[in-house]
């Protein structure tokens, strides 16, 4: 368990264990020295590896959602002649526009977070676990609203699955929920880690030693 201000160095703990002997003719107690080695750096690297993997999945799902949302909006704003949808009148779905904006924000935000985690950059409060948690919570609400409303509108389109627009909507709903799940898991990890280690004000890369964090240099 990390504590604020604790440098990430290898820690050794020695525990003296007394085991009572069963035999009557044996020594009353046997002294056993147990040495435990705990490497916080390895633990943090494992957690960060999981976080980066989930962020990459989130970026991929959001990118697909972005493409599907753009395809849907383009279709509804340019309805082909003879298409019976909305009696041939161009329109757009507000919830698709919301998913388009949410996925675009996600696609832009994820690389910034991953760069901080992997390169140990420190930009002050905007690079802390608190900032990450707030960002994930905002995305959590946006993705939940978008996925829920899209599901209520197009949750069962099996009857028209032979048509491309219906397949696009089905895929859009699926990827919206997958993106929401990734955001939810990342939010849980960030909150649990921050609470357990009192790390809300610490850099989101998890390296508390100031010598391990640095601001990027733009000098040539």
Which tens digits make up the pLDDT trace of 97-121? 999 999 999 999 999 999 988 887 6
Local structure of residue 78 (DSSP, 8 states): S
Q: Is residue 36 part of a domain?
A: no
Predicted confidence at residue 201, as pLDDT, reads 83
Q: Is residue 11 part of a domain?
A: no
Quote the crossing angle between the two packed helices 94-119 and 40-77, to the nearest 10°. 150
Q: Is residue 7 part of a domain?
A: no
Q: Is residue 6 part of a domain?
A: no
Q: Is residue 201 part of a domain?
A: yes
Q: Helix or strand or coil: residue 184?
A: helix
Q: Is residue 30 part of a domain?
A: no
Low-confidence ranges of the chain (pLDDT < 70): 1-45, 121, 206-220
Q: How far apart are CA 165 and CA 58, in angstroms?
A: 24
In 3D, which of 79, 95, 77, 85 has the Cα closest to residue 155?
95
What does residue 163 show for φ and ψ, rounded to 5 degrees? -100, 140
Overall number of domains in the chain: 1
Q: How far apart are CA 64 and CA 106, in angstroms?
A: 11
Predicted confidence at residue 35, as pLDDT, reads 41
Q: Is residue 47 part of a domain?
A: yes
Predicted confidence at residue 206, as pLDDT, reads 67
Q: How far apart are CA 72 and CA 68, in angstroms?
A: 6
Predicted confidence at residue 208, as pLDDT, reads 53
Q: Is residue 33 part of a domain?
A: no
* Domain encompassing residue 202: 41-212
Q: How far apart are CA 196 and CA 190, in angstroms?
A: 10
Q: How far apart are CA 116 and CA 202, in angstroms?
A: 12
Predicted confidence at residue 94, as pLDDT, reads 96
């Amino acid at each position: 368990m990390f504590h604020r201000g604790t440098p990430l160095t290898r820690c050794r703990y020695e525990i003296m264990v007394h085991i009572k002997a069963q035999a009557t003719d044996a020594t009353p107690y046997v002294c056993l020295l147990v040495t435990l080695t705990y490497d916080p750096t390895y633990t943090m690297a494992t957690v960060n590896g999981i976080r980066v993997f989930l962020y990459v999945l989130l970026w991929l799902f959001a990118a697909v959602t972005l493409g599907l949302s753009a395809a849907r909006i383009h279709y509804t704003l340019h309805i082909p002649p003879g298409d019976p949808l909305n009696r041939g009148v161009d329109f757009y779905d507000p919830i698709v526009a919301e998913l388009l904006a949410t996925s675009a924000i996600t696609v832009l935000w994820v690389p910034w977070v991953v760069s901080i985690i992997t390169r140990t950059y420190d930009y002050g409060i905007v690079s802390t676990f608190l900032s990450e948690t707030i960002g994930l919570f905002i995305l959590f609400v946006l993705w939940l609203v978008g996925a829920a409303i899209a599901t209520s509108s197009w949750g069962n389109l099996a009857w028209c699955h032979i048509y491309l627009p219906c397949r696009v909507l089905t895929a859009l709903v699926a990827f919206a929920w997958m993106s929401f799940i990734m955001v939810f898991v990342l939010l849980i990890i960030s909150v649990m880690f921050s609470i357990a280690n009192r790390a809300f004000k610490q850099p989101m890369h998890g390296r508390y030693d100031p010598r391990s964090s640095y601001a990027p240099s733009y000098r040539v």
